[in-house]
Amino acid sequence: MSSKKRILIVVMDGLGDRGCEELGGLTPLQATETPNLDWFTKHGTAGTCDTVAPGVRPGSDTSHLSILGYDPLREYTGRGPFEAAGIGLIGRPGDVAFRCNFSTCDDSLRITDRRAGRVDKPDTEELLSALDGMEIDGAEALVRAGTEHRAALILRGEGLDARVTDADPHEEGPILQSRGRVPEAERTARILNEFVRRSYGAMRDHPVNRRRIAEGKPPANVLVPRGAGEFPHIRPFPEIHGMSAACVAGVGMIKGICGVCGLDVLDLPPECTGGAGSDFSAKMRAAMAALERYDFVLMNCKAPDVAGHDRDPRLKCDVISRLDEMAGVLREGFPPDLVVAFTADHSTPCSLGDHSGDPVPIAIYTPGNVMDDASVFSESGCAHGRIGRIAGRQIVPICMDLADRVEKFGA
């Protein structure tokens, strides 16, 4: 056996598309020159990938679980845990996690502003310090502020059960009493209701809110949970594969998924924003630097997804051009002991403005691999390659084999 190689998976979020009228029926990838991505396709192997399964419209969470080799049909327990992890609140198996809003309510716990005037840090962080660590009936409450009015809550303790209804009415009006969907979850619902009540008690007269009221702003005086999910028992990626692993990503949700799976979530240079204007080349240099310390790096570039959601094919073409320059940075400084896979987590067709189940292109390259007859990195071009049509959770095994990291099965 030669020595083991390292692995880089570049996930260009929402990259796949459908034919766009504005581009003469071509997809943005088909319509854009991508000499560097094409080079990797021509010198490597290519194919088509259903991140979850044919016809399934994946979220970024379920698709990244797949790309990391997990079966989301088994491991995905709802948004709560992954959103919590996304803002750095990574729980343990058995914890029950919730997404929360800071809201404005009156003394009868009736919501008058669901987003508390889009309150933001540092107010939210200061308010939460009054709640974090609260004990209710043997359970501990952990809270963390997210973007604007968003926050996460984890309840930790023996015998909790995530099968509870939302306290959030999802509109202005009385905060709901959470109930157990099954008898085993009734205690958790009672704890949750008590948490909501106490959050109002602790924040109503908080100095931050007195100041906000004085400034004419709605007070952020209650935390309203929804989307309960149990933290999944996910076996850490480094333990499964025997590789140290990190992620280079700007988006909270992706960082959350990677964190839950046991990858180190790295800090990014400030010019990597996760938005359409993000500096992908700087991100690639950060990933290449990370590969000097880690066996495996997952890198996510959110921008093509943003362009797809904005239904903007021209912007997506522009983003793709800059993604190709990013691929050029890797091509130029390509370490000989690296396996790289360029792919997407799902398609976000501009005509749809949302994720679709269309499969995505994938190209995998390492020096000395089999060159196949695919030479263009696009939805159609990669279909000429010998990877064929694979599932997202086959990407890691295929890369590990090319990295000479797989034990022989048999003799």
DSSP designation for 282? H
Cα-based distances in Å from 57 to 21, 60, 214, 357: 22, 10, 47, 4
Nearer to its own copies, 187 or 241 (CB): 241
Specify whether the CB–CB gap between 369 and 338 falls below 8 A: no
79 binds its own copies, rule: CB under 8 A: yes
Cα separation, 331 vs 365, in Å, equals 10
> Closest approach of Cβ 369 to its own copies, in Å?
6
370 binds its own copies, rule: CB under 8 A: yes
Work out which of 61, 113, 161, 230 binds its own copies, going by CB under 8 A. 61
Short-list 263, 179, 261, 194, CA closest to 228 = 179
Nearer to its own copies, 125 or 380 (CB): 380
> Closest approach of Cβ 137 to its own copies, in Å?
30
DSSP designation for 180? B
Cα separation, 219 vs 205, in Å, equals 9
Size of the site for its own copies (CB under 8 A): 73
386 binds its own copies, rule: CB under 8 A: yes
Residues 6+ apart with CB under 8 A from 411: none
Give the torsion sign (CA, 236, 237, 243, 247).
negative
Give the torsion sign (CA, 269, 276, 14, 353).
positive
Binding mask 327-356 for its own copies (x = CB under 8 A): ------------------------xxxxxx
165 binds its own copies, rule: CB under 8 A: no
Work out which of 27, 33, 71, 195 binds its own copies, going by CB under 8 A. 27
* C-beta atoms surrounding 389 within 10 Å: 12
Which of 14-22, 33-41, 112-120, 181-189 is the region at the interface with its own copies (rule: CB under 8 A)? 14-22
Q: Where do the DSSP E strands lie in 206-244?
A: 222-230
Work out which of 108, 239, 270, 411 binds its own copies, going by CB under 8 A. 411
253 binds its own copies, rule: CB under 8 A: yes
369 binds its own copies, rule: CB under 8 A: yes
359 binds its own copies, rule: CB under 8 A: yes
Work out which of 133, 270, 336, 410 binds its own copies, going by CB under 8 A. 410
Angle at 395 between CA 274 and CA 33, to 5 degrees: 55
Nearer to its own copies, 26 or 301 (CB): 26
> Closest approach of Cβ 163 to its own copies, in Å?
19
